[in-house]
């Protein structure tokens, strides 16, 4: 269906902080690394691939946190698979033209961001649990 999008978001956790990247194309938001699931691709594999493409990091997918969805003002339905991921190797290099910077945030800092992506904002309770593990 044209008005639906199935995507993954990777919650990369390190030292009780989560990695967010700053998107400048389309919207000015801080978001999790992630993206659209390609035809025939397993969502768990999408998370690993998208992280590598957007950050240069090699990660281990540690499992599903939650599935969330929202409808944009443009009437587009986004379904998000949120995965917890752990860095295995690499250093962060922004790998696409859509993002300009990255930062590691505490939960308190995330909550204060004025331009937080809906894919992050909607799972703040689950993110709190993941960061306290």
CATH of the domain at 91: 3.90.79.10
Rounded Cα–Cα distance for residues 42 and 117 (Å)? 24
Tell me how crowded residue 122 is: count the other CB atoms within 10 A of its CB.
19
pLDDT category at 105 given cuts 50, 70, 90 is: very high
Picking from 93, 85, 105, the residue whose alpha carbon sits closest to that of residue 30 is 105
Q: Which two tokens stand for residue 124?
A: 């703040």
Rounded Cα–Cα distance for residues 39 and 49 (Å)? 14
103 - beta bridge partners?
20
Tell me how crowded residue 12 is: count the other CB atoms within 10 A of its CB.
24
- What pTM value is reported for the model? 0.90
Residue 2 has pLDDT above 80, yes or no: no
Q: Using an 8 Å Cβ cutoff, are 12 and 87 in contact?
A: yes
What total of structural domains would you count in the chain? Answer: 1
Confidence (pLDDT) at 73? 83
Residue 65 has pLDDT above 90, yes or no: yes
Residue 74 has pLDDT above 90, yes or no: no
* Full domain range(s) for residue 9: 4-132
């Amino acid at each position: 269906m044209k008005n639906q999008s199935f995507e993954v978001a990777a919650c990369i956790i390190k030292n009780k902080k989560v990695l967010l990247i700053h998107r400048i194309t389309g919207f000015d938001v801080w978001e999790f690394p992630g993206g659209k699931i390609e035809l025939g691709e397993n969502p768990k594999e999408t998370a690993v691939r998208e992280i590598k493409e957007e950050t240069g990091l090699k990660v281990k997918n540690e499992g599903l946190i939650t599935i969330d969805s929202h409808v944009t003002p443009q009437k587009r339905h986004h379904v998000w698979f949120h995965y917890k991921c752990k860095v295995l190797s690499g250093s962060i290099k922004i790998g696409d033209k859509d993002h300009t910077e990255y930062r590691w945030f505490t939960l308190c800092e995330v909550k204060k961001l004025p331009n937080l992506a809906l894919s992050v904002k909607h799972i703040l309770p689950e993110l709190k649990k993941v960061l306290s593990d």
